Every structure is written in structure tokens, then in C-alpha cells.
Amino acid sequence: MTETALHPITGVVARLHDDLDEGYDFGLLTLGPAETRAALVEVERAANRLAALQSRLLAHAASVRAEDATGAPSTAVWFANAKVTRAEAHRRVRVAVATHERYDALTAACSSGAVSPGQAEVIVRALDDLDDGPTESVDPGVLADAERALVGFAADHDAKDLRVLGRRILDIVAPAIGEAREAELLAKEEREAAAKVRLTMREDGQGCVHGRFTVPEMHGAMFAKMVDAIASPRRSHLHDDPADARPSWERRGLAFVELIERMRDADLPDAAGAGATVVVTMQLDTLTGGLAAASLDTGHRISPGEARRLACCADLVPAVLGTKSEVLDLGRSARFHTKPQRIALILRDQGCTAEGCDAPPQRCEAHHDDPWSRGGETSVERGRLLCWHHHRVAHDPTYLTETLGTGKVRFTRRN
């Protein structure tokens, strides 16, 4: 019985494994820095070439329906069994088929190792967008010029940069139609993004709410700019403040919380005929320093210290109850510092007045030295700027507050 002759590609793969086995057996102690750098560059190029070979095989597998013998519904589903996620398998097959069936220049660049798999995917997506735009496909000659240009750019630009260049490639190879085409693509992208907008939130029963959102890129950039403006770290080399050592994700989370608190009722539409302002319900004893918890009109409970802090600065209405739960006060506008008063505080304090803190005025809130709940006046003389963090500390009963001769305040944890 004559054995079926193996295709040469099978021998190539076998030799690759033999060579890699040999490479793993070599020690690296005598490999100098310069030769190490050169070897890494060549290994990366070899990896790109091997990925291109795999891409070619995937495209062939799709054309001959290699999955039929396994009962899998598609080449990608079959390939996912090779320890690749199904999403990754679909992505690789799509790029492989597009590259080897439509883009000769890209195929050659991938085969030589000049273009990485990530760069190839970005180039294919950019070219597919040109060939399947919102209105009509571009001229084949223009498409070929765009392919050659992007392959050339791959020598000096990574996948991220290529994505940007791909969106504007017509401005380079066909300026006459570039602007109109980009406008069409952006409008299409914006319509699709608007259809994907989502916001989900859930309580975990332990005092936290977890959420996920999907918004258009523009609104995501606007939100990031707002949060980063608040979360921007102070010059940590000048101050030994633990807050400066917080990771960026924690600072941004705290900034998000502060951004929510800064949102004013006047900026929001009415809900069910009433403003969107949250009402804090508390006993008079809580407002004047007691230990009883307070309630929000949403049904949530908060600590007395948090209630006093919110009643002092945030745009929430404190519904103060007497001993028989009758409403004694629903807040009054005089509780808040006016705009001229805040300007005066900014000019005088120049930022947070907590000792050792250099938070700028835009990150500060107006605080009453004499608690408003105890008859304190809303004035410049008896007011000061405190950053969001130190304003929390000022209303935390576990800290003592000391006014220094410099006008600053020092916080010390009680024993």
C-alpha cells in the first residue's frame, strides 16, 4: 500500500518545530546585549512571517471547507478548538480571507515579516471600509494606492497609528474625494454608536453600586476630560500625602463621585414634576452632631458625618425633622456661599486651606468654620476653601480640627 505523499508545507512546519526545539536548548549566558537586540528583532520578524503563513493556511482552509470533516459549521468554529477563543478565531479567519483574496501588496508584506498581524488587521479594516462605504466603493486604482500607502506606513507606525492613518488615507491618495468620504464614514459610525448607548447599574448590598456604560466616542472623551480635570494628581514629590500615592483608577473613581456631587439641580430636568435634587432626611440631633443615621429620598441610608457634609456643601435639600418627625427646615439658599463670596474665598485662600495640601480652587468646596446647622453664618470671614478630600475629613467626627496662625487648618485623628 502506497503512502500518500505529504505536501511540502507539512515538512516546513516539522522543520520549524525541530529548529525551535534546538533554539530552546541553547543557553543565553554568552549572548551579549547587541546580539540580544538583533535576535529579538529577527524573532519578531520570524513571528510575523509565521503568522502570515498561518493566515495563508486559514484562508485556504476556508476555501476548501476544511471543517466539513469535523461537522463544525465554519472554519472559524473549527479553528476555535485549537485553544483559540471563538471571537479570536472569527477575527483571524476574516482577516486571512480578506488579505489573501483581495490585497496582494499586503500579502507580500506579511509574508516577508514587514507587517505584523495587528497591523494587517488594521489595514484590512481600513481598506474594507473604503471598499464598502456608506454610498459607493472607491475606484479600484485608488484602493490599490491606499493599500500600498498603508503597507508603506507600517514600516514606521504601529497598529494604533495605522488606525488613524487608515481613516484619513484618502486625503493622501485621493484628496478630491477624501473629505466627503470621511464625512460619510464618520456619520455612519456616529449613527451606529448612538444605537449602542447603554448604562447599567446594580447594587451589591454592601454599600456599593457597580455599573457599565457604552457611549459614543465623543461623549466618552468629554467625560474623561471632566473626570481627569478633577483627578489630576498633585505634585506628589512636594507633599507626603497618602492621597497622592493612590493609583490613577482610584483617583478617577473618586473624581467621578465628586463630579456627581457637583451636579446642580438647575442643570437637570424635573423628574415626575419635581426637581432631581436628592433630599437628605435627618433628625435635628443628627445635623447638630448626633450619631443617628440619615436617609435619602431614594431609600438609601448614610452615616451622620456624610449627611452633615452633604448638607453643608452639596446641592441636596436637608429635610430636618424634630422629635415628632415634623419637618423643621427644608434648607435655605443662605446656607450656600454666593458666587461673589466664593470668588472672595478663592482670592484669599488660593486653594485648599488644609495644612500641606495644594489642591487648586477649582477642586475645592466652601466650608463653614462655624457649622451652619448650629447657627453659623454663611460669610467669607468664617468660611474657607477645602478640597473634596479634606472637606470629608472636616465632617468626620474621628478627627479634631485645629486652626493655625497661618490661617490653615490641621486635622488630627482622635485617640
The domain spans of the chain are: 35-194, 270-331, 335-413
- Rounded CA separation 337/343 (Å): 10
- Rounded CA separation 152/145 (Å): 11
Cell numbers placing 95: 482577516
- Rounded CA separation 161/152 (Å): 13
Cα–Cα distance list, 242 to 233, 239, 246, 393, 401 (Å): 11, 9, 7, 14, 19
- Rounded CA separation 124/119 (Å): 9
- The pTM score is 0.53
Residue type at position 356: G
* Nearest partner of 393 among 241, 209, 192, 228, judged by Cα: 241
CA 408 to chain centre: 36
Cell numbers placing 211: 455599573
- Rounded CA separation 337/266 (Å): 16
The pLDDT score that the predictor gives to residue 259 is 84
CA 30 to chain centre: 44
CA angle 145, 149, 155 (to 5 degrees): 155
Cell numbers placing 85: 477563543
What φ, ψ does residue 174 adopt, rounded to 5°? -150, 70
* Nearest partner of 99 among 77, 80, 83, 115, judged by Cα: 115
Pairing, β 383-387 against β 399-403: unpaired
99 and 106 Cβ atoms separated by less than 8 Å: yes
SS3 160: helix
Cell numbers placing 235: 505634585
Q: How far apart are the first and last CA of the chain?
A: 92
- Rounded CA separation 239/260 (Å): 28
The pLDDT score that the predictor gives to residue 285 is 60
pLDDT along the chain (415 residues), means of 10: 75 90 87 93 93 94 92 91 87 92 94 94 90 67 92 93 89 82 78 91 89 91 87 50 68 86 65 47 60 66 72 54 46 58 80 87 82 71 87 87 90 86
The pLDDT score that the predictor gives to residue 287 is 55
